[in-house]
Amino acid sequence: MIHREGLPIVITVFVVLLLINLGFYWLIPAKVWILRILMLVSLLLFVFVMNFFRNPSRPIAKNDPSVVYSPADGLVVAIEECEEPEYFKDKRLKVSVFMSIWNVHLNRVPFDGTINYFKYHEGKFLVAWLPKSSTDNEHTTFVIKNTQNKEILLRQIAGFIARRIATYVKTGDTVKQGDELGFIRFGSRVDLFFPLGTPINVKMNQKVKGNIDVIAKI
C-alpha cells in the first residue's frame, strides 16, 4: 500500500516522467538507445518514490501495556542518559532510531495512553543521526501518559533531506499501540525518552521495525 502522504507525490512523479518520456519519443524517435536509458532511469526513480511511501500492514501481534514498541523502522543509533530540557527537565534515558531513505517512514504509537503534551518546533535540517539534531532540527514532541500515570516522551526529528513532518494526533487524544502517529519525509529520526533505570530491549546498531520490535518495558 502507498501511504496517503505519498499519493500526491507518486501521482505527480508518474505524470512528469510520462510527459518527459513522451516528449523525448516525439522529438528523437530514431534514438532508440536514448529512449531506453530514459525509460530505465524513469522506472527506477518511480520505484524509489513508491518504495519510500510504502505502508506495509503491521498489526500488533499482542497488545501489551507493559511494553513500548518501536515507533519507527530504522537503526538504533543512541542509547544514553541525557538531559531532557523541554518537558521533564531532568535526566532521562534516550533511545534514538534513525530512518534512512530506504526505511518505512510512517511513525506508529508505541504504547496505549493519552497525548499529554504536544508541540511543534521550527529548526535546522542537520544530518539526523547527529546528537544535537534532537533539539536543533525541526521537530515535534509528544508525551504519552498511560493509565498507570507513566509517561514517555517521543520526538520526531526532520533530517538533512526531510522537509516535512506530518502529525496525526493532538493534545488530549487517546491513542492505542500501533495507531498512526505521524510521517516524516525523506530521512529522519525518532527519539524516545524513558525514566532512568528503564529496562531497554534493544542494542546499539540494531535494526528495528515499528509495531514489531520492543524497545523497552515500563
188 is an active site residue: yes
Is-contact 93 81, C-beta < 8 A? yes
Is-contact 138 121, C-beta < 8 A? yes
Phi, psi of 21 (to 5 degrees): -65, -40
CA 165 – CA 184 distance, rounded (Å): 5
CA 29 vs. chain centroid, Å, equals 43
Length of the chain: 218
Given 70, 133, 134, 188, the catalytic residue: 188
Is-contact 189 129, C-beta < 8 A? yes
CA 90 – CA 206 distance, rounded (Å): 27
Partners of 137 in beta bridges: 124
* Nine cell digits for residue 189: 529520526
The set of catalytic residues is 188
